[in-house]
Amino acid sequence: MATYYLSANGCDSQDGLTPETAWKTIDKINQMLQGGDTVCLHCGDTFWGKIFPPRENVTGTPTTYTSYGEGPKPIVSQYKTALPDAWEDCGDGVWKLDLKNTAKFTGNVTELDTNVGFLNIDGSIYPRKCFSPDSLELQWDFWNDDRYVYVKSSADPASLARTICFACNIKCMRFADDLLVENIIFKGAGAHGISGTAHRAMVRNCEFHEIGGSQLPGFSVPNTRYGNGVECWTDSSDVLVENCRFSGIYDVAITMQGNRVKSGWINMTFRGNVMWNCQQCFEIWSSGELPETGFVNCVFEQNVCIDSGYCWGYAVRPYKLCAAHLLLYELKCPRCDIVIRNNTFWQARVSPIYKSGGPGQIPSDYRITGNTFFLSPGQDVAYRDGCTEDEYQAFYDRLRAENHLVETAYA
């Protein structure tokens, strides 16, 4: 087992074994790391590219991604930043940039994806992704084919902005078994922050910002967009996400989801995180009918969830009613042993809780207790979605008996 160092001032031809002989790129650590190794990213630096942890780890020691030095947490970014002379005039106020030509942009030049999720222009998010060239109408509207991104602009985009960045359909990091990720910022991805099936994994003191919005490949509903902060896919177990920060996520900060479930999600803990300006904070859905499968000993506790639905993605979502802190879609597996406890939920745009089919379909083993919900005057604590008044009242009475519901006019 070895410890390696990564620095913006490093060089991939060095050995990477000391801060003085650090490597430079994520591509190098993807090639060299073995299970049980540690890589330290230099504080204050930004690194571009997707992290692929080793698939095999027989050491009993987690493969670790962490930081070293002083200053802000290191950033792992997927942004592609247009060079000033990269734009080609297509006429009619449309300009294009070749996202397969690395002479046209900087940033992530390793993954040459063109499925743009949003633009970041001088620090502001522009999410109006179009799905045909005829739909380009407003300044900074965009669409892409399999090579170019096309942007609506009244003049050469480089003349109107200092920096124009693209978040493409790239995740920042693949989840893996026996993994520790700490003290790193992940941002600028059109797909997910960290996602996949994982066992014995820990993500702590990390941050996830400006993520999602790309078109979901192969999905049955055309032009569906997606993107989560931390996504725990089917049959994960023994995962801890603790003391992390999430903002600007197109979909949900943290989710347990997946189909073809063989076992489920076992011993999953999400604790002490702060989530704000995401569409949702905590989501579950499952598909599978094997006995005794589903969610087992899962806990969402001591988190702070703020302003769900007040995010950049809300305006471009076709369905807006699931602007909620807690999101539950279909639950086809028989078990839903999840405790939501001792959290603070502040200002959801529509309602704090959304369950497809209404709150009467929330399983009895999905327990919500000891939380504080701040509601705007007259706001329902859960979106009704066709449930009867009696079903809603029964759910409301149970929730009020075990939680603190505060009606307030938000500042």
Mean per-residue pLDDT, 322-331: 97
For residues 32 and 56, the model is more confident at 32
Which pLDDT tens digit goes with each residue over 82-124?
A: 999 999 999 999 999 999 999 999 999 999 999 999 999 999 9
**Predicted confidence (pLDDT) at residue 13 exceeds the cutoff of 60:** yes
pLDDT at 409: 73
Cβ partners under 8 Å of residue 320, min gap 6 = 309, 314, 350
Instruction: Tell me which amino acid residue 73 is.
Output: K
Which pLDDT tens digit goes with each residue over 379-407?
A: 999 999 989 999 999 999 999 999 999 98
Confidence of residue 57 (pLDDT cuts 50, 70, 90): confident
Sign of CA dihedral 19, 20, 21, 25: positive
pLDDT at 58: 78
Confidence of residue 302 (pLDDT cuts 50, 70, 90): very high
pLDDT at 410: 62
One-character DSSP codes across 228-294: -SEEE-TT-EEEEEES-EEEEESSEEEEEEESS-SSEEEEEEEES-EEESSSEEEEEEE----TT-E
User: Any idea which of 56-60, 180-184, 211-215 has the lowest mean pLDDT?
Assistant: 56-60
How high does pLDDT run on average in the chain?
Answer: 96
User: d(Cα 395, Cα 402) in Å, to the nearest integer?
Assistant: 11
Confidence of residue 60 (pLDDT cuts 50, 70, 90): confident
One-character DSSP codes across 141-180: -EEE-SSEEEEE-SS-HHHH-S-EEEEES--SEE--SSEE
SS (H, E, C) 48-77: ECCECCCCCCCCCCCEEEEEECCCCCCEEE
pLDDT at 411: 52
Percentage of residues of the chain with pLDDT beyond 70: 100
**Predicted confidence (pLDDT) at residue 353 exceeds the cutoff of 90:** yes
DSSP β-ladder status, 237-242 and 199-204: parallel
pLDDT at 178: 97
Q: Which two tokens stand for residue 15?
A: 């050995």
Mean per-residue pLDDT, 192-219: 97
Q: Which two tokens stand for residue 76?
A: 């792992």
User: d(Cα 188, Cα 166) in Å, to the nearest integer?
Assistant: 8
Which pLDDT tens digit goes with each residue over 268-285?
A: 999 999 999 999 999 999
pLDDT at 289: 86
pLDDT at 55: 87
Q: Torsions phi, psi of 318, nearest 5? A: -70, -30
Confidence of residue 345 (pLDDT cuts 50, 70, 90): very high
